[in-house]
Structure 1
Amino acid sequence: MDLLRKKSVEQLASESTPLKRTMKTFDLTMLGIGAIIGTGIFVLTGKGALTAGPALSVSFLLAAICCGFAGLCYAEFASMAPVSGSAYSYSYLAFGELIAFVIGWDLILEYALQAATVSAGWSGYFNKMLAEFGLHLPVELTAAYGTTPGVTTYFNLPGFVIVLLVTWVLSVGINQTKRVNDVMVLIKLAIIVLFIACTIWYVNPANWKPFSPYGIYTFQPGSTQPMGIVPAASIVFFSFIGFDAVSSSAEETVNPNKTLPRGILYSLAVSTVLYIVMTLIMTGIVKYDQFAQFVEAPVAGVILATGMNWLAFVVNLGALVGMTTVMLVQLYGQSRICYAMSRDGLFPKFFGEVHPKYHTPFKGTWFFGILTALAGGLININTLFELVNIGTLSAFIIVSAGILWMRKTQPDAHRGFRAPGVPSTPICSIIFCLILIAGLNWETWLRFAVWFAIGLAVYFLYSMKRSKLNPNNASESGTQQVES
């Protein structure tokens, strides 16, 4: 029983794919920005400001540095093995099947929970926009059960519907997906630039004092949640999740050796600058401790403080568009990882079947799309977003460690892009990830351990026997050689 059987670079590179190669650098950059800019600005800045004060901009920078180091590692792996599967495929290459399965299992949870969480935020902004036109959905259908204290709700209908619409776009073809995403990202960026241009004149530098009221890391009396720059970075790290989904598009990318690294790094750079500028402006207009009044819609609260009510509608539109692109990229990444795991025999063939007309993993896309829509509609998952963070940080650690291992064991393997500063770069990535994990609470660790245990059970009871690298399945998978 070889739990660490590996794929070679040659095996990964030679795998044929029925997916269509149409994505270019611009599309990948838009895909990354679409995933990154959304919930972070329109939702998490409120909780982040209460946790770190004006130093929230430093928290965003800390999270961005962590993602930047990890992004360089992802870029190198993407240029070595331009295949679907992201961290799952890279782990298969570096550490073997068991680690790869665990990371794939981890990423499935990450992408589904983030898309479901974002659908809840999307629903809140959608209901506010309807109210501006005098329209109101039955309150029972505006949120999952027990989401709003003192209000009886049963089902998040808007969140459910938007996830299904996004799933439909993803299922009918990559050309349609990239066009929809490109247009929505450009609209979102235009609205953010408009917000910055209109509100920067209302900044009062006195609101930035004290700049870091809670320091780097501290506990307030009577609170179970840590406060300060590092805990806030652990929260807003959620904002940057998604750039790793860019590497899932490898088999639908033109010249992936060059375009994948560029798309990953360009999207990170643009998003980081916008996040820092936005948080400085927002905490400069509204004192950090006042964000408690509008923690669910912080950007709207800042606009009300300026008196420019006309801008509120535009920003609400930007929030809807921004969060839609986040869901689109997350569900896209999830479907491609399931496709890769199915192709390797670790998941049922159902998830790897490609539609002959649309050239997408049609059934798998709809399967997880419906599950995610139901999760967002029925479950109060706002308390679980930190579980997404710990899952992603774990994947970053594995990918970064993989670069160290591959540089040592396969130094001469072809690399279209080489991460600079190795071994310092992956080591820094691992250290920053561990720092952010330390900022999460113990409930998050417990939930992650439960999901991890379920994944191990699935692997040993199903996936290990059906793996294409299992010698007993050699007749099905051809004469694949297992790297020892």
Structure 2
Amino acid sequence: MDLFRKKSVDQLVAESTPLKRTMRTFDLTMLGIGAIIGTGIFVLTGKGALTAGPALSVSFLLAAVCCGFAGLCYAEFASMAPVSGSAYSYSYLAFGELIAFIIGWDLILEYALQAATVSAGWSGYFNKLLEGFGLHLPVELTAAYGTTPGVTTYFNLPGFVIVLLITWVLSIGINQTKRTNDIMVMIKLVIIVLFIVCTVWYVNPANWKPFSPYGIYTFQPNSTQPYGIVPAASIVFFSFIGFDAVSSSAEETVNPNKTLPKGILLSLAISTVFYVIMTLIMTGVVPYQQFANFIDAPVAGVILATGMNWLAFIVNLGALIGMTTVMLVQLYGQSRICYAMSRDGLFPKFFGEVHSKYRTPFKGTWFFGLLTAVAGGFININILFELVNIGTLSAFIIVSAGILWMRHTQPDAHRGFRAPLVPFTPICAIVFCLVLIAGLNWETWVRFAIWFGIGLVVYFAYSRKRSKLNGGEAAAETAAQTATV
């Protein structure tokens, strides 16, 4: 059996099972912004400022450039093969089944772990919002077990409930999903603009000096954590994760050859502008050293420093909305990856069953939604967010390398969008990803290797012999015969 058996573009398109096509450029752009703008601004800017100082804006720009090069590669693949599955499907096309399975397995970790991690941050902002109305949840139900030092906690009830609500929205149809996301993203952007307009007058340029106190990359005495622009970029890269989920919507997109590339690149560009402006203002209002006092809620801390307490409630609401859209897009992308892998026989048929009424992978959506809700409710996963980064960077490297390979092996294949300056663009994407991976700690590598090993066991024990390309039992079924609930 060939571990690197491939699919052709025609085969990928022919096997796709059209879901309900309603997504247009605006919806895709909102989907991308919904995934990108959230945790990065409302949570990670605190740790990022302590790591890079005012140069955090450069760190965000570095992470954005990395994603930009990768985004161009994603856009070309999306225009070649407008099918569900994102990097998984693209790897099947370029490198074959084993690499595709590994990337799909990698993406499952990325989407689930990010959604669960964000649910913990969402819970914190939700509790603060309740406190503003004089309401208090039992402290035991406000965080996962052992998350809050000095406080006994057992279960993150708000995080658990919000993941279930998002799963319900995703399961009942793409129209409901896109409308919910579009509305929340627009509200979030309005709140962010309000924050910028209100706080820019409090910027003190003296707080930007020295602009880069730790340089590009350095270690401080008595610290194992690297400091500087590159380590901070490795941290805030988490902020940009999710734009790749836009390409997972190919089978629900109108005219995907053109709209997918536009949605991917527009969402990246708009989000980057907001991140750079926000970080410059935040480090201009408050000296970067003081972010240690409000590392978990940096935006709220900046507002309190200005004395505009009335703005705190509005921004807390914006944080809730921002993180909700992040979770929505991550859970959406995860369900579509599993749907594509099930259709290829690499996952059980259960994950590929499409609901006859809602035209969504109903059971698979609820399966992973429940798992993510439980993970966010019970497990202290804050230390694992770097796993999401290394997993995503690995996927970006594979997709970028795939563009190099496809340009060499299939130069005449139809491409609705062509990444510019190839091979320069994909090579830059690979180099930037490797630089950011180098900024992660060794524990992250160990955890990633363990997850990688589990994936290989699953592939050789189950997926390899059941693959449709293997001619096994799954081969008799075609995408057009996908079971309905």
TM-score, with structure 1 as normaliser: 0.98
In the other structure, the counterpart of 1:386 is: 386
Residue 469 of structure 2 aligns to a residue whose secondary structure is: coil
1:49-128 correspondence to structure 2 within 5 Å: 49-128=49-128
Q: What whole-Å deviation, never above 9, does each CA across 1:206-251 have from its counterpart, x for those lacking one?
A: 0001101111101111111111000000000000000000000000
In the other structure, the counterpart of 2:261 is: 261
Mapped partners of 2:13, 2:358: distance in 1:
23
Q: Is 1:339 equivalent to 2:339 in the alignment?
A: yes
Give the % identical residues. 87
Q: What whole-Å deviation, never above 9, does each CA across 1:317-369 have from its counterpart, x for those lacking one?
A: 00000000000000000000000000000000000000001110000000000
Q: What whole-Å deviation, never above 9, does each CA across 1:409-430 have from its counterpart, x for those lacking one?
A: 0000000000000000000000
1:359-370 correspondence to structure 2 within 5 Å: 359-370=359-370
In the other structure, the counterpart of 1:424 is: 424
Q: What whole-Å deviation, never above 9, does each CA across 1:26-79 have from its counterpart, x for those lacking one?
A: 000000000000000000000000000000000000000000000000000000
TM-score, with structure 2 as normaliser: 0.98
Aligned-partner residue type, residue 146 of structure 1: G
Residue 471 of structure 1, CA deviation: 2.8
In the other structure, the counterpart of 2:438 is: 438
In the other structure, the counterpart of 1:155 is: 155
Aligned-partner residue type, residue 436 of structure 2: L
In the other structure, the counterpart of 1:482 is: none
Q: Is 1:374 equivalent to 2:367 in the alignment?
A: no
Residue 338 of structure 1 aligns to a residue whose secondary structure is: helix
Mapped partners of 2:310, 2:73: distance in 1:
44
Mapped partners of 1:317, 1:357: distance in 2:
34
1:398-477 correspondence to structure 2 within 5 Å: 398-473=398-473, 476-477=476-477
CA contact (8 A) 2:160 2:373 kept: yes
Specify every segment of 5 or more residues in structure 1 that has no aligned partner in the other structure, as ranges: 480-484
What is the CA RMSD across the aligned residues, in angstroms? 0.9
Residue 468 of structure 2 aligns to a residue whose secondary structure is: coil
CA contact (8 A) 1:18 1:359 kept: no
CA contact (8 A) 1:257 1:416 kept: yes
User: How many residues are paired up?
Assistant: 479
CA contact (8 A) 2:466 2:474 kept: no
CA contact (8 A) 2:53 2:283 kept: yes
In the other structure, the counterpart of 2:17 is: 17
CA contact (8 A) 2:20 2:359 kept: yes
Aligned-partner residue type, residue 99 of structure 1: I
Mapped partners of 1:12, 1:455: distance in 2:
23
Q: What whole-Å deviation, never above 9, does each CA across 1:423-462 have from its counterpart, x for those lacking one?
A: 0000000000000000000000000000000000000000
Q: What whole-Å deviation, never above 9, does each CA across 1:271-321 have from its counterpart, x for those lacking one?
A: 000000000000000000000000000000000000000000000000000
Aligned-partner residue type, residue 70 of structure 2: A
1:223-262 correspondence to structure 2 within 5 Å: 223-262=223-262
Residue 16 of structure 1, CA deviation: 3.9
Residue 474 of structure 1, CA deviation: 7.4
Aligned-partner residue type, residue 132 of structure 1: G
CA contact (8 A) 1:18 1:354 kept: no
CA contact (8 A) 1:351 1:361 kept: yes
Aligned-partner residue type, residue 14 of structure 2: S
Mapped partners of 2:461, 2:475: distance in 1:
21
In the other structure, the counterpart of 2:307 is: 307
In the other structure, the counterpart of 1:298 is: 298
Residue 469 of structure 1 aligns to a residue whose secondary structure is: helix
Q: What whole-Å deviation, never above 9, does each CA across 1:355-390 have from its counterpart, x for those lacking one?
A: 001110000000000000000010111100000000
Residue 18 of structure 1, CA deviation: 4.2
Mapped partners of 1:362, 1:422: distance in 2:
39
Mapped partners of 2:356, 2:474: distance in 1:
27
Structure 1 stretch displaced more, 9-18 or 61-70? 9-18
Q: What whole-Å deviation, never above 9, does each CA across 1:141-200 have from its counterpart, x for those lacking one?
A: 000011111111010000000000000000000000000000000000000000000000
In the other structure, the counterpart of 1:357 is: 357
Residue 477 of structure 1, CA deviation: 4.2
Mapped partners of 1:108, 1:57: distance in 2:
30
Mapped partners of 1:290, 1:253: distance in 2:
45
Aligned-partner residue type, residue 391 of structure 1: G
Residue 315 of structure 1 aligns to a residue whose secondary structure is: helix
Mapped partners of 2:302, 2:475: distance in 1:
63
In the other structure, the counterpart of 2:482 is: none
Mapped partners of 1:129, 1:135: distance in 2:
9
CA contact (8 A) 1:34 1:181 kept: yes
In the other structure, the counterpart of 1:179 is: 179
Mapped partners of 2:384, 2:219: distance in 1:
21
Mapped partners of 1:474, 1:37: distance in 2:
40
